[in-house]
């Protein structure tokens, strides 16, 4: 009964959030923090939010699903003991993520662990609301905790921030987050924010083993002393990423990645149209490191 009630509450919030996101929210809107929200920020930067539009979900591989919007990812790892949700998205995406979970046959009330790629509003604007409703534990890299608990964007983007999030588990790079026989490995890839994370998920489907990566090489800052990323942290990230050999990679804004592939993804075609080519991952890491070394030299 409790799961049914919580699921209904989450879906109600989903549709309510979508309605309020369709127009500029007022300063007394309970979903807005200090009168600032997605619509406020998009107005400031002079463009509408076109990244949070509905998109049908699909199985990435095994027990790993894409439940996000057209250009903001949300990743669901399902287990018999509850689910892990990585990135919750914007307020507007509440009307995408939770209905997508239900479409796939999973209840939002069964979310046990919440994780995030990084503390920018577009990837975790609803995280604290979901934590309160479900009782899920928020697990985050130590470097990202100051931003999460204060509600301040401490990255170079300087967005409006977010509702402060209660963090229940502090992670270190290399940690494994385990639930119901599944494991998500955490790799610290700093730069875009201080505590940006890449996640590695091993899963099985029809007797085949797949490794799914959500994230990728760090995006270090070299041209702004206030936000500059420590080179030693970046090189450690490259080394850790080279120990990974993913079959599939999903990034945070996947519209270009999914272009021309959605019909096949919805149909569950195998091999997946997202399957990486031989050596593609290693080349991506090598190219990113070479670019970072070049910028350091400049």
Taking residues 136-143, report their average pLDDT: 98
- Regarding pTM above 0.85, the answer is yes
CATH assignment at residue 244: 3.60.15.10
Higher pLDDT, 212 or 41: 212
Q: What is the DSSP string of 126-153?
A: THHHHHHHH-PEEEEEGGGHHHHHHT--
Residue 136 Ramachandran class (φ > 0 left, ψ -120 to 50 alpha, else beta): beta
When divided into structural domains, the chain yields a total of 1
CB atoms within 10 A of CB 59: 18
Tell me the mean pLDDT in the region 49-55: 94
Give residue-wise pLDDT tens across range 106-115.
999 999 999 9
Judge contact between 68 and 126, C-beta under 8 A: no
139 contacts 115 by C-beta, under 8 angstroms = yes
Measured CA to CA, the distance from residue 146 to residue 165 in angstroms comes to: 10
Mean pLDDT of 236-249: 97
Supply the pLDDT for residue 273: 97
Contact between 208 and 271 (Cβ < 8 Å): no
The backbone torsions φ and ψ at residue 255, rounded to the nearest 5 degrees and listed phi first, read -55, -45
Helices (H), the chain: 2-21, 38-45, 94-103, 121-124, 127-134, 145-150, 231-242, 255-258, 262-267, 280-297
Q: Is the four-CA dihedral 276, 281, 282, 286 of positive or negative sign?
A: positive
DSSP secondary structure code for residue 114 in this structure: E
Paired tokens of 45: 């930067």
The Cα 8–Cα 2 span in angstroms is 10
Question: What is the domain range of residue 119?
Answer: 2-297
What are the tens digits of pLDDT across the range 60-111?
999 999 999 999 999 999 999 999 999 999 989 999 999 999 999 999 999 9
Tens of pLDDT, residue by residue over 167-190, are 999 999 999 999 999 999 999 999
Please give the average per-residue pLDDT across 204-222, as a whole number: 96
Average of pLDDT values for 201-218?
Answer: 97
Percent of the chain with pLDDT over 70: 87
79-85-230 Cα angle (round to 5):
125
Structure tokens at 182: 């599944």
Which letter, b or e, does each residue of 117-130 get, where b requires 16 or more Cβ atoms within 10 Å of its Cβ? bbbbbbbbbbbbbb
pLDDT at 262 over 80: yes
Whether residue 291 is predicted with pLDDT greater than 60 in this model: the reply is yes
Residue 280: how many other CB atoms lie within 10 Å: 11
């Amino acid at each position: 009964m409790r799961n049914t009630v919580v699921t209904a509450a989450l879906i109600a919030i989903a549709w309510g959030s979508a309605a309020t996101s369709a127009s500029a929210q007022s300063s007394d809107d309970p979903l807005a923090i200090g009168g600032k929200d997605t619509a406020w920020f998009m107005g400031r930067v002079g463009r509408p939010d076109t990244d949070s539009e509905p998109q049908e979900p699909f199985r990435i591989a095994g027990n790993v699903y894409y439940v996000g919007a057209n250009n903001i990812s949300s990743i669901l790892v399902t287990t018999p003991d509850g689910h892990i949700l990585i990135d919750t998205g914007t307020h507007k995406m509440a009307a995408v993520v939770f209905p997508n979970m239900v479409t796939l046959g999973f209840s939002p009330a069964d979310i046990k662990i919440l994780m995030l790629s990084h503390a920018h509003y577009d990837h975790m604007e609803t995280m604290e609301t979901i934590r309160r409703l479900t009782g899920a534990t928020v697990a985050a890299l130590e470097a990202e905790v100051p931003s999460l608990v204060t509600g301040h964007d401490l990255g170079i983007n300087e967005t409006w921030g977010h509702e402060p999030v209660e963090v229940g588990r502090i992670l270190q790079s290399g940690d494994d987050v385990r639930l119901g026989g599944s494991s998500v490995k955490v790799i610290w890839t700093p730069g875009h924010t201080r505590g940006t994370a890449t996640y590695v998920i091993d899963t099985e489907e029809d007797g085949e083993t797949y490794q799914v990566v959500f994230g990728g090489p760090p995006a270090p800052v070299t041209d702004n002393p206030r936000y500059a990323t420590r080179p030693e942290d970046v090189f450690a990230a490259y080394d850790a990423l080279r120990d990974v050999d993913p079959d599939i990679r999903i990034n945070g804004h996947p519209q270009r990645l999914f272009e021309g592939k959605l019909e096949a993804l919805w149909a569950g075609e195998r091999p997946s149209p997202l399957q990486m080519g031989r050596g593609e991952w290693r080349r991506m890491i090598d190219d990113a490191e070479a670019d970072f070394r070049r910028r350091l030299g400049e």
